[in-house]
Amino acid sequence: MNRQVYKYAVTGLLAVMATSCYKELLPDEKAHFSNNANFDGDTYTAHIGRTNVFYGKFNADYSTQPLTFQFQNILKPDGTPAPELQEEVNTWQWKEYYSGHEKSIEEIYAKRIQVKRPVLDIRENSGDVFFWTTDTSKIKPGTYTFDIFVKNKGGQKTFQKRKLDLRRPRPYEPYEFDDITGEQFAGDKGGVTHPTVIGVKDMLNNELKAENVNVYFRKTGAAKNTVSFKFFDQDSLPIRLSSFNITQWDSLAYFSNTIQERVYFGFNRKMSEDSTVVTWDITNPYPVLADVGIDEKANISFMYDRVSYGNRTQALIGLTFAIFEPGSWDVIFKFNVNPKFSND
């Protein structure tokens, strides 16, 4: 054995032995429940139709572990019991780490497992709260209340009147409708979605702004999870995707905030014969971690270049979004002013 390695090994062994002997002389550690243990806020805002996760809201303030958490007194907005929130539903939970490098949707789905859990759920030893996917036929929007009972061997406390602010579904984001009233926002308050627009010129070489392009989401079917992109000019005529002549279709990717990786945009890309529609197969939700991640959104950019009076310039139209409702979706870009793709 290398002399230096041996020296460290023996020193470490002696340290462990000394520590063990020392611990035997100490009294047993007394369990402690801190008076300052608390939750970060008392309101959980959730949307029907998706998984809602609330991580790390409990501050144990050095209370002895393990802690256990339990719901009590779950009530409807009218103050009557809400047993529907404790009904078990099928949930999808990860059994393996999602890397972002999976080669198919099937490979991604194989990393999940179906588990029955209460609609309103709490992780027993962390206090993380979940509101699992359900629909408005079973549970209605409104403000529900509940208590959370927390204990360890050193003490216990009931945190009363927590609020579940349960809102209407948001099938995609950005969403143009108020999730409380269901009414569409005013156009200048989010009622119309605009993309990112950089370097795009009109036929007179004037700079186009984001307000000159509207984006619409339209669900077209329920048999498969897909997303398709289409562009239309000011006269509602289709724009060929070949106009976006420097877009690397098979290399498109977005950055996942949750896993800190670049993730390829989708799977099985298909371009229509007339080059007016591009479609990818996607997971539900999309992106993969949209419902459990950290501000998790996908981003796509359509790029082109052109020569303008001897100078080659690049332009980009992009969108950051997420889709939560299963099905086939069209994302439509509608120009209110015609863009110029040709050279001068």
Q: pLDDT tens digit string along 5-32?
A: 333 333 443 443 444 454 455 556 789 9
- pLDDT tens digits, one per residue of 172-219: 999 999 999 999 999 989 999 999 999 999 999 999 999 999 999 999
Phi, then psi, of 212 in degrees rounded to 5: -85, 0
CB count in 10 Å sphere of residue 51: 19
Q: Note whether residue 17 is domain-resident.
A: no
- pLDDT tens digits, one per residue of 291-334: 998 889 999 999 999 998 889 999 999 999 999 999 999 999 99
Give Cα 168 to chain centroid, integer Å: 17
- The residue behind tokens 């100078």 is 311
Q: Note whether residue 24 is domain-resident.
A: no
What is the residue range of 127's domain?
38-167
Q: How many domains does the chain have?
A: 2
| 163/75 same-domain check | yes
- Predicted local confidence at residue 16, as pLDDT: 39
CA dihedral (113, 114, 116, 117) in degrees, to 10, reads 60
Q: What predicted TM-score, i.e. pTM, was given to this entire model? A: 0.88
Angle at 92 between CA 91 and CA 93, to 5 degrees: 115
| 126/202 same-domain check | no
Give Cα 188 to chain centroid, integer Å: 25
| 159/227 same-domain check | no
| 188/319 same-domain check | yes
Q: Note whether residue 275 is domain-resident.
A: yes
CATH of the domain at 140: 2.60.40.10
